[in-house]
Structure 1
């Protein structure tokens, strides 16, 4: 049980950190479905002589699946059907009737496709996509918007939900899970999802390291919320407290650098990004520090950091590597390095095209056309 809880807590902490570190991709819906649907599963759980049917999704390639508590009921084991048609016996390793969530573990023969969690609350009006098994129609896809968020964080949305949809993922345009579908009223827009942050309520034994990761995740979430609202001084205060308690955490320093940069304290931001890189080099920290160097008009250092961000590309994915090439292309153009700028924009366009981000793809092509015409 300790291993299960530790794995779950690590996943949750990583999810919390995505609120600010990952830029929205606005994937084409067809690409979003192609990438996300293989991680959605069908669940069957005994209910006396009958069965409860519902949906779920894989949160970790090793075989952890999240769904509703009311889908699994009191069962210790349930049947899981993956997108490829294979069927597994799943063990319910954690559950909470209070928040209506359950965590299931299966033991696959190979790593499975999984979805990432985005525990920063969504915004009312943003697009939302649902994948699930309404009335047994496996991996059905529907779209809508987030229409309301109540005081507890419960998400009301307009994508269609029906019997069998429960436990499936509610996704943002980036393909990240913003909620776990709880149910709805067919034929209406009154559909509801449990906020992704509620996964913190699932019980389990946690070791000291896992507890620290969770606490760091809370500092990250709280500071990210302030960032989204433009409250940079409050964001800075939260991260100051976090760093006081955890003085060797690279993510907290990187986020504080963002707070200071937003407040135009460029030297302070430079110091924090440098400390973050010393503790744990990352593409994001290098790229952010490069932008500070640009603000400080330290051209050579900026160019070196943009290049290093592209070189190591730790955990960014194609959206952020595209952003790094785009940023370096802009900087190369400012320096008058026309050929290098065009080369970088071509690389940016390549990565944006691969992920289906048509807006950023066209922007990169427009920059190439504009520079070539100069």
Structure 2
């Protein structure tokens, strides 16, 4: 686990676009809390919607998914067409009139807003490009003349190709009606928006979720800067995930040269430098990121550096403690389990058995909440090992 995906609360269409840009900037590597397919479906399907848009005497029917509990839904532009108003049916059977608040035909994405009576289930997104061969899941509303619409159907497959623009080719089965639905990784994060599919073939494609940054919002100077920063981050992360670390370093460095006060650029460059074994350079970047905006992930990555590379366990314990404190305050649990586990391991090595057991119990609790059986068992095994030692 090297990067962080962070959920946000939004209040209006301009705000969601700006917030999504910040969310996408952070990203996350896959496999941090790999879930089983049953858990992925149970958690994700309630946020998948049916979308109907007028098209002459008939309707375009497709899928979409909720990005915010306030009622923002992401889908394909080709589903909503030129309509301003569309019909939205949620998983609980409720029906809303949705307003298309932003669209970009060039990337085939559109944002819809509804006015729900209560907070809605929503999905979290991750802009770190998936790897070729990585497991993915698609949830959508496929339909045919024989079967009609099959609401919220799950299919699985792998990523088979990613082109230079980031377009994701995958093998999970999709068909008419699936467009606009989420493509999820093993952690349950959205990595793409299903765009098209050829039934019975592997020629299925999804728009990378980072393309959400290209939806037009409020065209302020700050908004343009956010979009440019996220361009550096998205391109850098794509190079990083393809193990092109030197190219990733060049991209992040170029971004920092233009935007020297952005903490996420420093954090991502620090991660890249660590993979290149430039430990002092990585430490400088993590430290600068923390100076600009103290975050759980910056402290976590700095702690890993101190623990694994610089061999300074006491400083690592301090940084894991800061990561835990901020995580609990911000309610971002993605790194919380590993922070407790790693701190517990260091506490055990330092002979602090009581503190170590407390940390492993907290780690087990977090892993249990995320249905990560392997990590949960590892934490419980550590407790058993400590308590049985003389």
TM-score of the two chains, using structure 1 as the length reference: 0.90
Whole-Å separation in 2 of the counterparts to 1:297 and 1:204: 46
- Partner SS for 2:294: coil
C-alpha displacement of 1:281: 1.4
Whole-Å separation in 1 of the counterparts to 2:242 and 2:173: 30
CA RMSD across the alignment: 2.3
C-alpha displacement of 1:168: 0.8
- Partner SS for 1:66: strand
Contact 1:23 1:320 in 2 (8 A): no
Contact 2:24 2:210 in 1 (8 A): no
Which of 307, 321, 342 is equivalent to 1:307? 321
CA 1:226/1:370 → structure 2, altered by over 3 Å: closer, same or farther? farther
1:254 and 2:262 aligned:
no
Q: Residues 177-256 of structure 1: matches in 2 within 5 Å?
A: 177-256=190-269
Q: Which residue of 2 aligns with 1:356?
A: 371
1:69 and 2:77 aligned:
yes
1:39 and 2:47 aligned:
yes
TM-score of the two chains, using structure 2 as the length reference: 0.87
CA 1:341/1:179 → structure 2, altered by over 3 Å: closer, same or farther? same
Which of 8, 16, 26 is equivalent to 2:25? 16
Whole-Å separation in 1 of the counterparts to 2:270 and 2:164: 31
C-alpha displacement of 1:208: 0.9
CA 1:247/1:150 → structure 2, altered by over 3 Å: closer, same or farther? closer
Contact 2:142 2:175 in 1 (8 A): yes
Contact 1:257 1:269 in 2 (8 A): yes
Whole-Å separation in 2 of the counterparts to 1:306 and 1:99: 40
Q: Residues 259-278 of structure 1: matches in 2 within 5 Å?
A: 259-278=272-291
Contact 1:61 1:112 in 2 (8 A): yes
Q: Deviations over 1:311-357 (max 9, x none)?
A: 22155733410010111012112212233223222221211111111
1:318 and 2:333 aligned:
yes
Which of 103, 111, 134 is equivalent to 1:126? 134
CA 1:69/1:361 → structure 2, altered by over 3 Å: closer, same or farther? same
CA 1:193/1:289 → structure 2, altered by over 3 Å: closer, same or farther? closer
C-alpha displacement of 1:106: 1.5
CA 1:233/1:193 → structure 2, altered by over 3 Å: closer, same or farther? closer
C-alpha displacement of 1:151: 4.5
Specify every segment of 5 or more residues in structure 1 that has no aligned partner in the other structure, as ranges: none
C-alpha displacement of 1:40: 0.9
Q: Residues 29-178 of structure 1: matches in 2 within 5 Å?
A: 29-135=37-143, 136-178=149-191
Whole-Å separation in 1 of the counterparts to 2:69 and 2:231: 24
CA 1:158/1:299 → structure 2, altered by over 3 Å: closer, same or farther? closer
Whole-Å separation in 1 of the counterparts to 2:272 and 2:202: 38
Q: Which residue of 1 aligns with 2:385?
A: 370
C-alpha displacement of 1:56: 0.5
CA 1:14/1:92 → structure 2, altered by over 3 Å: closer, same or farther? same
Whole-Å separation in 2 of the counterparts to 1:187 and 1:237: 41
Whole-Å separation in 1 of the counterparts to 2:334 and 2:276: 26
- Partner SS for 2:44: helix
Contact 2:20 2:212 in 1 (8 A): no
Whole-Å separation in 1 of the counterparts to 2:133 and 2:275: 26
Q: Return 282-291 or 350-359, whichever deviates more.
A: 282-291
C-alpha displacement of 1:200: 3.6
